[in-house]
Amino acid sequence: MIVMKFGGTSVESAAAIERVAGIVGSRLERKPVVVVSAMGKTTNKLLAIASAAINGQREDYIRQVHDLRDFHSREARLMVPLSERAELDRTLDDHFQELTELVKGLAVLGELTPRAIDAISSYGERLSSFIVTLAFRYFGLPATHLDSRRVIVTDQRHTQAAPLFAETYCRLAETVPPLLQNQVVVMGGFIAATKEGVTTTLGRGGSDFTASIVGAGIGAEEIEIWTDVDGMLTADPTILPGGHRLRVISFAEAAELAYFGAKVLHPATVLPAVEKNIPVLILNSRRPEVEGTRIVADRVPCANAVKSIACKRRITLVNIVSTRMLMAYGFLRRIFEIFDRYETPVDMLATSEVSVSLTIDNTRRLEPILQELREFSEVSVEENQATVCLVGDNIRHTPGMASKVFHALGREINVRMISQGASLLNLGFVIAEADLKKAVEVLHEVFFAETDPAVFD
């Protein structure tokens, strides 16, 4: 058994889904479970519909729902035989009618709760998984649909729900392998449900996580993440095109890269895979012949210190100075207790005895956080920052790393904060977002001038 996950661009159109059918068809004997994301940018569109609704923009949301239905119907019709058109239309009608009711309800309430966000954004994967199932049959694959909400059980933290692993693994092991005996199982990623059956989601980009949960639950031989790039690259291609592909990388390094911004993998993806020691592959659905990146449990010997450079844009830097000056006993505890209470994760951190600098990328609850911090400290906030993180498990054994990095950045780029992670796998720092491109370019030149052919393509 293997798990094959296809992201939004890999299922964005009938042509893309036909390519997917070809790839899945070539692996039938390995008994694939296929996990799909919403088609193209559907999740963003659903969220835009929800915010138009609560803002009372009636014409806008009605038109957007209409466009979304047209898009799904148009692509699906290209892959459904005449005999199954009626089933397709009926299902699309049902889904879009429900969605419209929900959106109208939101418009009346004028409020968008996390639970409502999950209900709305779930339609993307519900639609895509249904359409892909019909399309697979059209292209000659024996396919059956499984509603992920029946098998992936989570807590109630809507929009960021955490799986209840024991229950989920139990349901997966019971349900999926029997279906795989003679069929390809198709499931939507990202969506799940509480024990009571209320729809939840695993957070943006969460279909990767679904794939690894399913892989761990059924004891798959391999988890394949099919996307729109050749694999994990030495830099984010939207910032620096033309980076090298990594042939292989360790779970620990991949997790660190994902956490610090390499969007190609959802940060939680590797956890279930590590636990069951299942290799994860990143592959390109447009170029299936490329061997991709293999993520493995063991350390990977490599002549290079750095494996890849991850970045995050739109970061906010918060500087906190204790007004009580020295002997600020309990200072850190108070600070973290506040961020914790407002469920705002801190990414990078540097401290001295009386001051702390930290970065966050979710500023939704920044205002009340600042208010509380100001009760015992002076706080300044810098927006439009970026974090850059060099990742590689040789970093810990390489003397002079920091001097190499800061020498490369030169005098023009002002480094606002530095942090060498306790994991020893990374060296991170904060700069103005305006300097990001330049910084990644110079670092890439320094650290990838020569590349170990065993690890890099």
Residue 246: CB minimum distance to ligand ADP, A: 8
CB of 262 vs Mg ion, minimal distance in Å: 10
Angle at which helices 114-138 and 85-109 cross, to 10° = 170
212 binds ligand ADP (CB under 6 A): no
For ligand ADP, the closer of residues 163 and 206 by Cβ is 206
Q: How far is the CB of 430 from ligand ASP (least distance, A)?
A: 26
Say how far apart CA 98 and CA 123 lie, in whole Å: 10
Residue nearest to ligand ADP (CB): 7
The distance of closest approach from Cβ of residue 435 to ligand ASP in the complex, given in angstroms and rounded to an integer, is 28
- Is residue 37 near ligand ADP by the rule CB under 6 A? yes
Q: If we measure between CA atoms, which residue out of 382, 204, 241, 386 comes closest to residue 313? A: 386
- CA dist 5 to 2, 23, 213, Å? 10, 11, 12
Residues that bind ligand ASP (CB under 6 A): 7-8, 37-38, 43, 124, 189-190, 204-207
Instruction: Note whether 205 binds ligand ADP by CB under 6 A.
Output: yes
Q: Which one of residues 146, 211, 233, 278 is an interface residue with ligand ADP (CB under 6 A)?
A: 233
What are the φ/ψ torsions at residue 33 (nearest 5 degrees)? -100, 130
**Residues 415-444 contacting ligand ADP, CB under 6 A:** none
CB under 5 to 8 A by kind: which of Mg ion, ligand ADP, ligand ASP, none does 308 bind? ligand ADP
Output the smallest distance, CB 232 to ligand ADP, in A: 5
Q: Which stretch binds ligand ADP (CB under 6 A): 50-58, 132-140, 174-182, 262-270?
A: 262-270
Q: Which residue is nearest to ligand ASP (CB)?
A: 207
Q: Catalogue the long-range contacts made by 418-423 (C-beta closer than 8 Å, 24 or more residues apart).
A: 418/350, 419/348, 419/349, 419/350, 421/256, 423/252, 423/256
Residue 368 token pair? 């009340």
Name which position in 163, 205, 206, 217 contacts Mg ion (CB under 5 A): 205
Nearer to ligand ADP, 357 or 359 (CB): 359
Q: Which does 43 bind (CB under 5 to 8 A by kind): ligand ASP, ligand ADP, Mg ion, none?
A: ligand ASP
Q: Select the residue interacting with ligand ADP from 167, 228, 382, 457 (CB under 6 A).
A: 228
Under 8 Å between Cβ of 245 and 293:
yes
Going by C-alpha positions, the residue among 165, 170, 146, 144 that lies closest to residue 154 is 165
Point out which span in 68-76, 222-230, 373-381, 427-435 binds ligand ADP (CB under 6 A). 222-230
Q: From CA 183, how far away is CA 142, in angstroms rounded?
A: 5
DSSP letters, 413-430, are SPP-EEEE-TTSSEEEEE
Is position 182 an interface residue for ligand ADP (rule: CB under 6 A)?
Answer: no
Nearest Cα neighbor of 317 from 430, 174, 187, 223 is 430
Position 243 contacts Mg ion (CB under 5 A): no
DSSP 8-state symbol, 400 = T
CA dist., res. 167 & res. 154, Å (int): 9
| 248-250/293-296 β-pairing | parallel
Segment interacting with ligand ADP, rule: CB under 6 A, options 74-82, 100-108, 117-125, 260-268: 260-268
What six digits make up the tokens of 53?
């609704």
Binding residues for Mg ion (CB under 5 A): 7, 205
User: Which residues of this chain interact with ligand ADP, rule CB under 6 A?
Assistant: 7-10, 37, 205, 227-229, 232-233, 236-238, 262-264, 308
